[in-house]
Structure formats: C-alpha cells, structure tokens
C-alpha cells in the first residue's frame, strides 16, 4: 500500500539550518536554562551537542538577554579549548545551539566520582583552560562562570570551557553586577566596587584547588559566611596537601588566588600575565606550542565504553518529559501578536551556520576583528545577509522584574538558580559597556 502521505518531506540542506537537519540522540546534560543532547547531522553525519532552551521558560526566567548574548558571543569565538558553536537556529518553542560534542563528561562528574584528580592531570587542564581564558580576554570577553560543571572533556581527554550564559564584553569601564557561582567568585565581585576580566583567573584558581584537593579553598554554610571567607580568610591547605601537590603547584594556586589583582597570576595586561604563567616552573613539562595545536596526549583518557554522563538525564527525558523534543515546521509568525520578549528572540537569535558564514563580532570595539573560520572545514567564506547588514540590533537590555528568582540590586539583575544554591549562585545580566 504505502500511502504517499508517509513519504518524508525532503530536507533542504541548502536553506537555513533547522532541527530537521539532525537526528536526535541521547540526552547528556541539563543546566538551569537548557537541556543538552547528542545529535547527528543527517547530511555530514557529524555528531554535535544540541543545547536547547525552551522559549517559554526562558521568558519566565527573564533570561532572554542572556540567551541572545550567549549566541552572539559564541559566534565570535573559535578556539581549541572552548566548546565552539557550529550552528544556531530557533523554532516556535526553542532556541538551539549546536556545539562541539564533548563525550568525556564534565569535570564535576569526574570530581564527584574520583574525589580528587592527580596534580599532573589538573596541570594539563589548567594549561588548556589558561589558553582559552587568555584568548577570551584578548577578544574583550570575560567568562564569569568558570567552574568544574562548565569544563568539558572531549573523548581524548582535552579540557574545554563552555556555558557563555553570563559571559560579557568588557572595556575600560569596570562592571559591578554580581554574577557567577558564588563559590568561584573573585573577592572583587563580592566587594561591588568594580571588577574586570581578572575574575576569571581567580575562578580558575578555585577550580584547580578543588580538583587537586577535592574541596574548595573558601567555604561557608550561608552565602554571607562564604562571602566572608572569600573576602577575608587566608588561603589554607588541607593537612595532606603536600602528598597531593608539589610546591610549584601550590605556588601557582596561591598566585591565582591572590586577592590583589595587580599581583594575581594571569592578570598583567596585554597578555603578559598569560606569558608569565606559561613560563612558570610548574608548567615546564608543557610544550605550549604543541598544546595550542592540540598535539599533546592528555594524561587522562575518559573511558569510552562507559557513559561519562549522568544517566538520569536520559531517564528523565524518557519518563518525565511530557513534551519531548521533535522537529516541527514553524508556523507563519505573526510578529504583531508577539510579546516583546518573543519578538526579541525572533529578531536577535539569528541563524548561524559555520559552513556558510564567517565568524564576526557584534560589539563595536571588536568589529574590526573578523575571526576566520579556521575550523570550519568546507567553509565557503560566504557571509550571510544576516551578518552583512551593517548595523547590528542593539545590545539586549536587562528586562528586570520581580519574578520569584530575580532580585534587583543597584540596577543589576541577580538570578538565583535553586538547583545550584549550595554554590551560592547569583546570575546577572550586565549591560554591555559601550
Ligand atoms: N558540548 C557539549 N557536549 C557534551 N555535553 C555538554 C555539552 N554542553 C553542555 N553539556 C552538558 O550539559 C550541561 C549543561 O550545559 P551548559 O551549557 O552548562 O548549560 P547551562 O547554561 O544551562 O548551565 C553541562 O554541564 C554538560 O554536562
Ligand atoms: Mg552550566
């Protein structure tokens, strides 16, 4: 029989990227805003991680500016130790990021299973992440949320920074919005007297300490105890510290966790801080040139036979999700009836396709730095109309309100993520400095 109605509609791979271009595979992660699953491109057969954010939830959580900002920043960057964006698109229900797939799991997952990591392994990750952080800072971007949950391993065991949800551009003007996960926040953020990209080096220090010793350097039962500890406590070492870490290692941790940003490791301007870090004796075994070409063999190779993900994400999707992800054709959009937030997503979460478009910046002070599609493979070097239109839509502004999770302090928005409250998480939509 075989009625004509059952024949699948042909997929237009030359047109804008849509969910129809991908086969949906297992769920591997969940963040506060998005779910993440493995997908395969039907034409190229490449595997990717698809992070998708439900529009309704995004509006409810007042996170529309964050999602747009994340999409814009990710278009600008491409680095061996960053989880790079390959495609971006939306349908009526979700905004989608298609990212490099990391099959080795995140460092929170490994830390929870192992208790702590070998110093050699951590040194290797710190070197890779330092290279990513220096690259971001060179492009005027601060990440603000470096923590083990946002560091992902590929299947060979290389570390990559992900989650640009609260990353921002910075310039001369210092930021004041309290943003990030409190346990990893630099003291100058909590002091509310202004901070800049130096905060990322501090967070990297907190991560490295936690990975080596299996506990964080500054702790507190309440947010105010934690704030006190970060701001005032002297850096202490666990009793068995010398068994787990050499003196040069401890000196690097101490250097990253220096409250004085003029002395903090990594912070000297114009990349000099990173150059100093590269010359540090702790890294003498690291061949930095090979590292940046991704030619070094990682000291820990994640077990490819075991799933390096929490199986609960997949189970939850199978058992509890009443609206499972499915490719759906878009309804003709009636922009008149859209709320401002939906309209903002419609207009500003523009499609991106790394095979067809050149990466570029949405921010005035970075406009001159066109970023090549070095890893784009078959890039045609074509620039889509979406990126040649000259004037970019304005930077999204915070739409602050008093919904359950959002509080406003001094004009900045702090968004509390209940599932991570033990870390004292506060999220902020910092306005882009001009
Ligand atoms: N590219 C990826 N490959 C594999 N897993 C990923 C990828 N991106 C995210 N994940 C998993 O999903 C989790 C949430 O993703 P993240 O980008 O941090 O979202 P959120 O902004 O909601 O925190 C991560 O902690 C990680 O475990
Ligand atoms: Mg995250």
User: Do 98 and 113 reside in the same domain of the chain?
Assistant: no
Residue 10 inside a domain? The answer is no
What CATH number is given to the structural domain containing 46?
Answer: 3.30.200.20
In this prediction, residue 390 carries a pLDDT of 30
Neighbours of 58 (CB within 10 A): 23
**Residue 360's domain spans which residues?**
15-103+308-392
Residue 269 inside a domain? The answer is yes
> Residue 100 gets which letter from DSSP?
E
User: Do 193 and 262 reside in the same domain of the chain?
Assistant: yes
Residue 335 alpha carbon to ligand 1 centre in Å: 31
Q: Whose CA is nearest to atom 17 of ligand 1?
A: 163
User: Do 202 and 85 reside in the same domain of the chain?
Assistant: no
Cα-based torsion angle of the residue sequence 179, 183, 189, 191 in order, rounded to the nearest 10 degrees? 130
Residue 9 inside a domain? The answer is no
Residue 376 inside a domain? The answer is yes
Task: Count how many residues are written for the chain.
Answer: 434
User: Do 221 and 340 reside in the same domain of the chain?
Assistant: no
> Residue 413 gets which letter from DSSP?
E
Residue 278 inside a domain? The answer is yes
In this prediction, residue 185 carries a pLDDT of 97
User: Do 294 and 346 reside in the same domain of the chain?
Assistant: no
> Residue 317 gets which letter from DSSP?
H
In this prediction, residue 207 carries a pLDDT of 98
**Do the annotations mark residue 51 as ligand-binding?**
yes
Residue 416 alpha carbon to ligand 2 centre in Å: 13
Do 90 and 84 meet the contact criterion of CB atoms below 8 Å apart?
Answer: no
User: Do 214 and 312 reside in the same domain of the chain?
Assistant: no
Q: Distance from CA of residue 340 to its chain's centroid?
A: 26
User: Do 117 and 73 reside in the same domain of the chain?
Assistant: no
> Given 78, 145, 200, 310, which residue is catalytic?
145
In this prediction, residue 365 carries a pLDDT of 61
What CATH number is given to the structural domain containing 238?
Answer: 1.10.510.10
User: Do 122 and 195 reside in the same domain of the chain?
Assistant: yes
Cα-based distances in Å from 139 to 201, 267, 347, 360: 16, 15, 25, 11
User: Do 345 and 294 reside in the same domain of the chain?
Assistant: no
User: Do 216 and 245 reside in the same domain of the chain?
Assistant: yes
Structural domain count of the chain: 2
User: How far is Cα 204 from Cα 199, in angstroms, rounded to an integer?
Assistant: 9
User: How far is Cα 170 from Cα 138, in angstroms, rounded to an integer?
Assistant: 11
> In testing the pocket of ligand 1, which one of 48, 152, 316 has its CB within 8 Å of the most ligand atoms?
152
Q: Whose CA is nearest to atom 25 of ligand 1?
A: 149
Residue 165 alpha carbon to ligand 1 centre in Å: 11
Give the pTM: 0.84
Residue 413 inside a domain? The answer is no
In this prediction, residue 321 carries a pLDDT of 73
16 classed as catalytic: no
Which residue ranges have their beta carbon within 6 Å of ligand 1?
Answer: 28-29, 31-34, 36, 49, 51, 83, 99-102, 106, 149-150, 152, 162-163, 165
Mean per-residue pLDDT pooled into runs of 10, the chain (434 residues): 63 92 91 86 96 94 94 96 98 96 94 97 98 97 96 97 94 88 97 96 98 98 96 97 98 98 97 98 97 97 81 75 84 81 95 93 63 35 28 29 25 32 43 37
User: Do 234 and 111 reside in the same domain of the chain?
Assistant: yes
Residue 132 inside a domain? The answer is yes
Q: Whose CA is nearest to atom 11 of ligand 1?
A: 29
User: Do 116 and 212 reside in the same domain of the chain?
Assistant: yes
Two tokens at 405? 């999770």
Residue 356 inside a domain? The answer is yes
Residue 160 alpha carbon to ligand 2 centre in Å: 13
């Amino acid at each position: 029989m075989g009625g004509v109605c059952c024949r699948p509609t042909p997929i237009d791979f030359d047109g804008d990227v849509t969910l129809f271009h991908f086969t949906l595979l297992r769920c591997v992660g969940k963040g506060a805003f998005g779910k993440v699953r493995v997908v395969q491109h039907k034409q190229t057969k490449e595997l990717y991680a698809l992070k998708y954010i439900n529009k309704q939830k995004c509006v409810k959580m007042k996170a529309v500016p964050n999602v747009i900002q994340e999409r814009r920043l990710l278009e600008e960057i491409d680095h061996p130790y960053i989880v790079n964006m390959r495609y971006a698109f939306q349908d009526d229900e979700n905004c989608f990021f298609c990212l490099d797939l990391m099959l080795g799991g995140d460092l929170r997952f490994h830390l929870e299973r192992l208790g702590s990591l070998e110093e050699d392994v951590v040194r290797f990750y710190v070197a890779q992440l330092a290279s990513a952080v220096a690259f971001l800072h060179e492009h005027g971007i601060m990440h603000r949320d470096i923590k083990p949950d946002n560091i992902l391993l590929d299947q060979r065991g290389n570390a990559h920074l992900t989650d640009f949800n609260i990353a921002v551009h910075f310039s001369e003007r210092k930021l004041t919005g309290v943003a990030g996960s409190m346990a990893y926040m630099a003291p100058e953020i909590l002091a509310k007297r202004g901070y800049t990209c130096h905060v990322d080096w501090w967070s990297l220090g907190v991560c490295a300490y936690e990975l080596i010793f299996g506990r964080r350097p500054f702790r507190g039962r309440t947010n105010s105890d934690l704030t006190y500890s970060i701001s005032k406590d002297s850096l202490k070492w666990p009793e068995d510290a010398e068994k787990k870490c050499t003196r040069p290692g401890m000196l690097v941790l101490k250097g990253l966790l220096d409250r004085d940003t003029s002395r903090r490791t990594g912070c000297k301007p114009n990349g000099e801080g990173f150059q100093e870090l590269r010359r540090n004796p702790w890294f003498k075994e690291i061949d930095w040139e090979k590292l940046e070409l991704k030619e070094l063999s990682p000291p820990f190779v994640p077990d490819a036979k075991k799933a390096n993900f929490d199986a609960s994400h997949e189970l939850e999707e199978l058992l509890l999700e009443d609206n499972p992800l499915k490719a759906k054709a878009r309804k003709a959009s009636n922009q008149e009836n859209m709320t401002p937030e939906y309209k903002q997503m419609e207009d500003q979460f523009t499609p991106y396709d790394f095979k067809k478009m050149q990466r570029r910046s949405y921010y005035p002070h970075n406009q001159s730095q066109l970023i090549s599609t070095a890893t784009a493979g078959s890039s045609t070097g074509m620039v889509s109309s979406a990126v040649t239109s000259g004037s970019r839509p304005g930077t999204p502004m915070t739409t602050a309100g008093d919904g359950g999770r959002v509080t406003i302090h001094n004009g900045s928005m702090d968004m509390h993520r209940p599932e991570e409250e033990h870390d004292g998480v506060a999220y902020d939509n910092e306005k882009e400095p001009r």
